[in-house]
Amino acid sequence: MPKTLASVVTSCLLSVSAVAVAQQPQTPGAAKPTTEEALQALRADLQSSRADVVAKNMTLTAEQAARFWPLFEQYQKEQNVIMDEQLKSIQKYIDSYETMDDANALALMNAHFDRDARMNALRQKYMGEFQKVLPARLAARVVQIDRRLALATQIQLVSRIPLIH
């Protein structure tokens, strides 16, 4: 991994942790953010970090940039739907962790499988879309960077969640 990508991935992971800490009430008696507010803050942080990493690892002409960035923004909007569902699923798991039965454990795993399949399908779709505005190598780099960041973020998120018992 290029040094710039590695350092940005590290700072992305640190910012994910910072968002989680920032979501805790800072003053006694302060209102705790709703689950929806916390999810929106986390998603916004992840998306801005991803766009920043992509920008720092891509050299685009002005014409390429003008065509690519609106497409990347649309890609992120479609990712948001999948990410929101995953984050809500994680919250639901955390809330029911102590009382999870077999049916809920299977539902959780099936939701993970579905999310992974949907993310892969989205990346495949946008690989084709990115190739319409970028050379194949640059389009592949975008998807490669996005996938690496997603994997790193997944590790960060799931490492904080206890295994089903």
Reading the block at residue 91, the tokens are 């919250």
Q: Is residue 163 domain-resident?
A: no
pLDDT, tens digit, 9 for 90 and up, residues 59-75: 999 999 999 999 999 99
CA atoms within 13 A on the CB side of 108: 19
Q: Is residue 19 domain-resident?
A: yes
**Tokens 């949907």, residue?**
118
pLDDT, tens digit, 9 for 90 and up, residues 98-108: 889 999 899 88
Q: Look up the domain containing 102 and give its range.
A: 3-158
Domain count, the chain: 1
- In Å, the largest CA–CA distance within the chain is 55
Q: Which residues contact 12 (CB under 8 A, 6 or more apart)?
A: 46, 49, 50, 53, 149, 152, 153
- DSSP code at position 98: G
Q: Is residue 101 domain-resident?
A: yes
- Between 23 and 111, the more confident residue is 111
63: alpha, beta or left, given left = phi > 0 and alpha = psi -120 to 50?
Answer: alpha
Whats the size of the chain, residue-wise? 165
The rounded distance, in Å, linking the Cα atoms of 165 and 163 is 6
Q: Is residue 154 domain-resident?
A: yes
Whether 14 has a pLDDT exceeding 90, the answer reads: no
CA angle 66, 80, 5 (to 5 degrees): 60
Q: Is residue 69 domain-resident?
A: yes
Q: Is residue 48 domain-resident?
A: yes
Model-level pTM greater than 0.75?
Answer: no
Q: Is residue 164 domain-resident?
A: no
